Structure 1
Amino acid sequence: MSVLKENKNLKSIKESRDQILPLLYLLLIPLGTISFMVFNFYLTGDFLAFVHGQAAWGRYHGNPVEFLIDGYKGNMYSTFESVFTVISLLIFLLFFKKVRFSYWLFAMYSILVPLSTGIQSMPRYILVIFPLYILFADISKKHLSEDLVTLFFALIQGFLMVFWTNGFNLVI
């Protein structure tokens, strides 16, 4: 009888471990941010130094639509960043059904969060959004759309090459 009781206790311990383990994995998610915040506190005395340091780069929270409109009023660099951002947003809005909803949501989040702090460096933030490449691969399955996408990017590459050869530091 005691052998059965020990076996039952062992089984309940194993089941409880199987339930606690996913919770521990879930706690790993904020651990990276928390450890970085502790590191910031050690260096600067401010847990949120990485947030407060954004002001040194001229970034502040605001309305993304206003940032886009102001980008067209600025110099050539901010106009390029605004156009790039608007085209990316339009691509994701027009081809909403072509990618999974979770990918679309990730893409919109990845565009709108940096955009809420200004237009600065938006192409850098947008080019790492992987659903964009999945969407382009899906769009280019048809021959006509593949040719149009190739033509579009060839024209963009030509314009950027002209900027680069004329010494504009729009392209590094």
Structure 2
Amino acid sequence: MKGNFTENLSLLFKLLIIVLISRLILCFVGYIGMNTFPMYDTIKDKHAQSTLNMDFGITINESRKPRLEDFYKFDSGFYLQISDNGYPKIKMSENNLPTSISFFPLYPLLIRAMHYITNSSSNIFNALLLSNILLVLSLYYIYKLCEIRGFDKKEIYLVILVILSYPTSLFYSVPYTESLFLCLSAATLYYCSLNNYAAASVAAGLSAITRFPGFINIAYVFFVMLLDTNLKFSSIKQLTRIFHYMIISIIPITVYFSYMKYLTGDFLAPLHDVGNWSRKMSIPFKSYIDYIRNPYFFSSGSWNNGVVSFVIATSILAVFVIYIILNRKNMDRKEWIFLLYGFLLIVVPFSNVGSVLVSIPRYLMVSIPIYLYIVEFFRDKKFLFLSYVFLFSTLNTLMVIGYFNGYNFVV
């Protein structure tokens, strides 16, 4: 037991160093971008074009350096607002404006908890620290999951490389829910692999109050448990066990929606409020198909770079297509469930968007099978693997510069 504890501590320390190095690289890229390219606020006013005549004659001391506030953009404010003040009490039947109600509660609750751990009153600092701790824990669970799947150490670190190179990987380290959802998803997959369904149910249930796609984690636990029974329900004990674990997994979301009912008069208020943000349910991949029919570079208000989003989405979809083609004959039922799980985490974002691909790259980044598959089927195809790493890293650089410079398309 002592040996396992020491090994796990050593692994966590290694992952912490890897995360720190990767985040410092992203901050350096952001620093270069902030002092090389114009800020979004500078160019969005057509009457201020003269300000684009930048004076590059500055010293290092005069250059703009990343501050805590530079990591605090877009939706971050809603999570910090909920952490400080909770949710607004409104009547959903009378409200047509977007509110913070559509932002799920676990991440803001953890930010509030960080106050007591760090003794810091800075919400931004606490959120940044929380997100990066969760990223380290995510990589720990993914490392252990890869071991169970038969990856050697070199391959596991390649998986981590792909995760940290993903074009929007900066969102794992800023005040957003990506690292929390990734952590709980990885824990769900890991504990299911160990047949520890109690822990898996808890992780899946918590993911459901982190982001809406958390219900896919709950469904994954349920179907893996069914497969373990060989779909034979001869034992009342087995059925009772499955029922109990499912109850455990839906308790958090039931409590959350019940509170929303009390607060707004609408049990499903968080889901209904999404419509106020110009998002609606659609046929899966409609926005992707619409882009093929009518390609664009930037969407209205520059909230989406169509070319970048399309390239990222296509590269991810290709992973699943290639994996099925190469491995379909060797996949057992659990592996099919695993693949379906990863694919559903992609289908859901593509079914709940507007007419453009806004936020799609960020929504896809929490589908863990993507990263495992890239390493698995490119084991003997180094050129293709390096092509993915190069593509991800190049677009990651673009996204980081865009984020630090305040461009909307990175959101």
User: Structures share a fold, TM > 0.5?
Assistant: yes
Higher RCO, Cα 8 Å, sep 6+? 2
Give, in whole Å, the separation in 2 of the partners of 1:46 and 1:164: 35
- Partner SS for 2:409: coil
Alpha-carbon separation, structure 1, partners of 2:386 and 2:350: 31
Give the CA deviation at 1:66: 2.8
Amino acid at match of 1:92: F
Partner of 2:367: 129
RMSD of aligned residue pairs (Cα, Å): 3.0
Q: Are 1:138 and 2:376 counterparts?
A: yes
**1:93 aligned to which of 273, 297, 321:** 321
- Separation in 1, partners of 2:397, 2:289: 26
Structure 2: state its 5+ residue gaps. 1-234
* Shift of residue 41, structure 1, vs aligned partner: 0.5
The CA deviation at 1:148 is: 2.8
Deviation at 1:152, TM superposition (A): 2.8
1:64 counterpart SS class: coil
Query: Closer, same or farther in 2 for the Cα pair 1:83/1:66, shift >3 Å?
Result: same
- Write out per-residue CA displacement over residues 88-144 of structure 1, whole angstroms, 9 at most, x where no aligned residue: 112211222458322210122111112111133211221011001111221342233
1:35-63, Cα deviation, whole Å (9 max, x unpaired): 11101111111101011101111111112
Q: What percent of counterpart residues are identical?
A: 22
2: distance between equivalents of 1:146 and 1:104?
A: 20
**Using the alignment, how far apart are the partners of 1:56 and 1:161 within structure 2?**
28
- Given the alignment of the two structures, is residue 27 of structure 1 paired with residue 261 of structure 2, yes or no? no
Native 8 Å contact 2:305 2:409 kept in 1: no
Give the structure 2 partner of residue 11 of structure 1: none
Q: How many angstroms apart in 1 are the aligned matches of 2:374 and 2:255? A: 37
The alpha-carbon distance between structure 1 residues 52 and 135, as it changes in their structure 2 partners (threshold 3 A), is same
Query: In 1, distance between residues paired with 2:236 and 2:408?
Result: 59
2:350 pairs with 1:115:
yes
Q: Which amino acid aligns with 1:121?
A: S
The answer as to 2:395 corresponding to 1:156 is: yes
Could you tell me how far 1:162 is from its partner in structure 2? 6.4
Please state if 1:55 is matched with 2:275: yes
Higher helix share: 1
CA distance 1:67–1:27, shift in 2 (3 Å): same
AA partner of residue 113 (structure 1): V
Residues 165/32 of structure 1: CA separation in 2 closer, same or farther (3 Å cut): closer
Task: Compute the TM-score of the two structures, normalised by the length of structure 2.
Answer: 0.34
Give me the whole-angstrom Cα distance separating, in 2, the residues matched to 1:157 and 1:18: 47
Distance 1:45 1:164, change over 3 A: closer
Note the 1:6-17 alignment, pairs <5 A. Answer: none
Structure 2 CA distance for partners of 1:18 and 1:133, relative to 1, 3 Å: closer
Q: Structure 1 pair 161/32, CA: closer, same or farther in 2 (3 Å)?
A: closer
Q: Is the 8 A contact 2:284 2:347 kept in 1?
A: yes
Give the paired residue count. Answer: 158
Q: Does the 8 Å contact 1:64/1:112 carry over to 2?
A: yes
Query: By how many angstroms is 1:160 displaced?
Result: 4.1
Tell me whether 119-128 or 51-60 shows the greater mean CA deviation.
119-128
> Would the aligned equivalents of 2:319 and 2:374 in 1 still touch at CA under 8 Å?
no
Equivalent-residue separation in structure 2 for 1:162 and 1:23 (angstroms): 48
Q: Specify every segment of 5 or more residues in structure 1 that has no aligned partner in the other structure, as ranges.
A: 1-14
**Distance of 2:346 and 2:316 partners within structure 1:** 9
